[in-house]
Amino acid sequence: MRRLKVFKRLVIDSLDVITHGSKKYHLWMALLTLIMLIGMYCYSIQIEQGLSVTGMTDRVSWGLYISNFTFLVGVAAAAVMLVMPTYVLKDIDFKQAVLIGEGLAVAALIMCLAFVVADMGGPSVLWHMIPGIGVFNFPNSMLTWDVIVLNGYLFLNITIPFYILFRHYQGKKSKKSVYVPGAILSVFWAVAIHLVTAFLYQGLQARPFWNNALLGPRFLASAFAAGPALIIIVLAIIRTYTAFKIEDKTLKKIAMVVTVAAQINLIMLISELFKEFYAPTHHSESAYYLFFGLEGKTALLPWIWTAISMNVLATIILTFHKLRNNFKVLFFACFLLFVAIWIEKGFGLIVPGFIPGPYGKIAEYTPTGIEIGVTIGIWAMGAFVFTILARTAIKIETGELRYKKDK
């Protein structure tokens, strides 16, 4: 009973926190709301007229939605890079960052689920996928595995920080015996969500561009570069605008993680390129389309070459200690890396899988305005969710938000 009371108080207090703030904060939230509303309007058109309002066709049947979904799974998985040292290796100065990381994971997962739902042809019959009520094709379909691991990961990433914050809210210390097992589990789980998502594509013998053994490991490497890079940027913003203290040491440590992951990612990229272009086969055509274009169809060229150059540049910057330890340069490199991997693991991965088609047909894909509107709307929703979570967490962690018994 007491706990329920405290919980009720927490909800009321956090509602108070998220609805009050500086002018800048209100402006930020209003902007996000506006974008979300535009996204919802676009989605309502899509519901009304069907997926024909998107750029997808029978030839390229997955597009921007699934691309963003794939990328965001990586971002969500990256929270683990902070969880591991903090909870398991007892590295104290990660502790503050980890709450932010897990908040980011929750926001990313909600975006993932939103993108999948946006991509569905029949969202009204999605209950067919709920185990027990519908028919869950487990373990045959990798998509059902993905549903399980994503929702499980979402659960872990909500409960662990919630437990910690709930204790701190009452002015108590959180018990290690409670959250450490969960944290250790989430470490493995994070690897699982990304590997399973890679297997979604990797297991299709119909698409040689995806059907390669390096896809899973490369997903992991790029995720552990892009995710923490985003966390660095977010932490930098938070420590500029709030009272939340994040030490330089923490940022530098995360930067180290980003660097190693980016280097491994680059090595794997070279290995992939070598395999596709040293002795090109019929199966290398998708890679040819991606990097050089086929039969004059070159829609992805500017994107992928931007991504590759940003990726290489960022990795070089990060590799040199002097550059990496200069925060301005570090933030710039992280931004480059994040955008590069968004392109590369997003439509740079999904779209070429369909081009050329099973019988060599080359039909290009360009997202429509409505598709882009929905996509941006979902990103705004992610930012909105994250802002709410982070704001409450920061207030509790800095001690401004505490349970008052007398009230």
Partner 1 sequence: MSSTNKKWFSLNLNSKHKQGSSSCGCGKTSGGCNSHKEPNTELSEEEFFDAAVDASIGEERHKDGFDQVFDVKMSRRSAFKKLTASLLIGAGAVNTSCSFLAGDESKEKAQIDWEEQFKGNYKLMNNDEKKATVDRLVRSYQLRTGKTISMSSTNAEDDVLFGYAFNISKCQGYMDCVNACVEENNQDRNSQMQYIRIHEMEDGKGFNFNEADDNYYHEVPAEGHFYMGTQCFHCDNPPCVDVCPVQATWREDDGLVVIDYDWCVGCRYCMAACPYDGRRFNWSKPEVPESEINKNQHYLGNRLRKKGVMEKCTFCVQRSRAGKNPACVEACPTGARIFGNLLDPNSTIRWVLENKKVFRLKEDLGTEPKFWYFMD
Residues that bind partner 1 (CB under 8 A): 49-52, 56-58, 61-62, 116, 119-122, 124-126, 128-130, 132-137, 140-144, 147, 200-201, 203-207, 353-354, 356-361
Tokens of 174: 């959180």
Shortest distance, position 378 Cβ to partner 1, whole Å: 17
In the complex with partner 1, the residue whose CB is nearer, 129 or 312, is 129
DSSP H helical segments within 346-368, as ranges?
347-354
Shortest distance, position 322 Cβ to partner 1, whole Å: 46
Look at the chain and count its residues.
Answer: 407
Shortest distance, position 125 Cβ to partner 1, whole Å: 6
In the complex with partner 1, the residue whose CB is nearer, 113 or 204, is 204
What's the CA gap between 73 and 83, in Å, rounded?
Answer: 16
Beta-carbon contacts of residue 216 (< 8 Å; ≥ 6 apart): 194, 195, 198, 199, 202
Shortest distance, position 81 Cβ to partner 1, whole Å: 30
In the complex with partner 1, the residue whose CB is nearer, 17 or 372, is 372
Shortest distance, position 47 Cβ to partner 1, whole Å: 9
What's the CA gap between 117 and 318, in Å, rounded?
Answer: 37
Beta-carbon contacts of residue 35 (< 8 Å; ≥ 6 apart): 376, 377, 379, 380
| Amino acid occupying residue 111 | M
Q: Is 257 exposed, middle or buried (0-12, 13-18, 19+ CB in 10 A)?
A: buried
In the complex with partner 1, the residue whose CB is nearer, 171 or 358, is 358
Shortest distance, position 88 Cβ to partner 1, whole Å: 34
| Amino acid occupying residue 304 | I
In the complex with partner 1, the residue whose CB is nearer, 134 or 302, is 134
In the complex with partner 1, the residue whose CB is nearer, 353 or 377, is 353
Q: Sign of torsion, CA 55 57 60 62?
A: positive
In the complex with partner 1, the residue whose CB is nearer, 146 or 344, is 146
Cβ atoms of residues 226 and 81 within 8 Å: no
Number of Cβ within a 10 Å radius of residue 30: 10
In the complex with partner 1, the residue whose CB is nearer, 22 or 205, is 205
Shortest distance, position 57 Cβ to partner 1, whole Å: 7
Task: For residue 297, list its beta bridge partners.
Answer: 294
Q: Is 343 exposed, middle or buried (0-12, 13-18, 19+ CB in 10 A)?
A: buried
CA 363 from chain center: how many Å?
A: 29
In the complex with partner 1, the residue whose CB is nearer, 128 or 321, is 128
Q: Give the DSSP letter of residue 126.
A: G
Residue with tokens 């709450």: 99
Shortest distance, position 129 Cβ to partner 1, whole Å: 6
What's the CA gap between 255 and 228, in Å, rounded?
Answer: 8
